[in-house]
Amino acid sequence: MFEQERLELVNNLRKKGITDERVLEAMLKVERHRFVPEIVQHHAYKDIALPIGYGQTISQPYTVAIMTQSLKVQPGDKVLEIGTGSGYQAAILYELGAKVFTIERNMELYNKALKLFDELNLKIAARCGDGTIGWEEFSPYDGIIVTAGSPSIPRPLKKQLAIGGRLVIPVGDRKTQVLKILTKISEDEFKVDEIPYFAFVPLVGKEGWNGK
């Protein structure tokens, strides 16, 4: 279903500057329409964010592509995602061969994603809770991706990143953010690259917006 639409979306992403063929291939394979409510399924292959309920969104495909490309995932990498939402980003990471761990704070979205992972036979470890404190048990991670906008970079996430690993996180105010790509050089040294401008829903938690 929607094969042609998916192909057009991927070609569109290529034109917009996505160069990692593995990421494009994963986006060609994962059926985005399965991750959105039925009522908006016909919009699933437009390059736009879509509502998934509870005031949350599935990110725009371009955003998913650029974040995933920035993470430079290799097969077998351990990747932590904060903000499971629909589960689409987690499914893309899984398709790239990563061992995926994902955290969602909204119980309803968490339950929905869990059910979908099961239906699609995606072996993804998911947890409901505050992702701003990370998931220490399985750290260190080769990659950490935060799919909600944060006022700053949560310290636990920097700590739970492996040396040489990458942390991709939108940082800014509640309306617009800059995508920060941190590469961990040593325990307290990070190389930082930035891509402007993005607009994510807020990261709410102890080390995020903290309900402000």
- Per CB under 6 A, 148 contacts ligand SAM: yes
By the 8 A CB rule, do 75 and 100 touch? no
Work out how close the CB of 129 gets to ligand SAM at its nearest, in angstroms, rounded to a whole number.
Answer: 7
Work out how close the CB of 140 gets to ligand SAM at its nearest, in angstroms, rounded to a whole number.
Answer: 19
Give me the phi and psi of 121, to 5 degrees please.
55, 40
By the 8 A CB rule, do 180 and 168 touch? yes
Determine how β-strand 177-186 pairs with β-strand 161-172. antiparallel
- Per CB under 6 A, 103 contacts ligand SAM: yes
- Per CB under 6 A, 201 contacts ligand SAM: yes
Q: In terms of Cα–Cα distance, which of 167, 150, 104, 110 is closest to 131? A: 104
**Known active-site residue 59:** yes
Q: In this structure, what DSSP letter does residue 69 have?
A: H
- Per CB under 6 A, 65 contacts ligand SAM: no
Q: Which of 70, 147, 160, 177 binds ligand SAM (CB under 6 A)?
A: 147
What is the binding site for ligand SAM (CB under 6 A)? 56-59, 82-83, 85-86, 88-89, 103-106, 109, 130-132, 147-148, 200-201, 203-205, 208
